[in-house]
Amino acid sequence: MSQSVWVVDDEPLIRTAVLAVLSEQGYEARGFGNAEELYVALVDGGASPDLLVLDQRLPDEFGSTIVHSLRERPQYRDIPVLFVTAIDDEEADRLSALAPVVRKPFDFADFIAAVESQLAAAPSLDSGLGPLTPSADSDEAEAPRPEA
């Protein structure tokens, strides 16, 4: 079975191009336009990717917030992340403390090298842990998110 890479980017052209390149390289690629779509896929699908590629600036949530939310949940804390985003040097430095950053615009060969590096370094994930669910004291019924 090929490795799965989920891409969360609100720019349809970039998301489509990245998904095409990943598919050409043999990955099971799945795309999302915002954080909400990702959370719904995690909750409803009960699956998780082998690698999560995140844009930092999404319309509904920052990519770094998604990472923090996933790290709080045992079944998702080990999912490797790669940021692919158009940000300045200072923000890239901050993000790199969470996960490697590939800055837009980028060369697809460099992107694939970063994907391969993250997947090679990732621990083996146990897919039998079940879906991500909100905590019992949370008012959120649709998607898990960190409380403000």
Amino acid at 2: S
Instruction: Check which CATH number belongs to the domain holding 58 and give it.
Output: 3.40.50.2300
pTM: 0.81
Integer Cα distance of 148 and 22 in angstroms: 34
Instruction: Provide the residue range defining the domain that includes 95.
Output: 4-127
| Confidence category of residue 85, pLDDT binned at 50, 70, 90 | confident
Q: Is residue 133 part of a domain?
A: no
For residue 129, pLDDT beyond 80: no
How many of the other CB atoms lie within 10 Å of CB of 116? 14
Beta carbons within 8 Å of 93's beta carbon, 6+ residues apart: none
Mean pLDDT of the chain: 85
Q: pLDDT (tens digit, 9 = 90+) per residue, 6-57?
A: 999 999 999 999 999 999 999 999 999 999 999 999 988 888 999 999 999 9
Beta carbons within 8 Å of 62's beta carbon, 6+ residues apart: 56
Q: Are 82 and 100 in contact (CB under 8 A)?
A: yes
Q: Tokens in use for 105? A: 């615009």
Q: Is residue 135 part of a domain?
A: no
Structurally, the chain folds into a number of domains equal to 1
Place of tokens 């837009």: 104
State residue 87's pLDDT score: 80
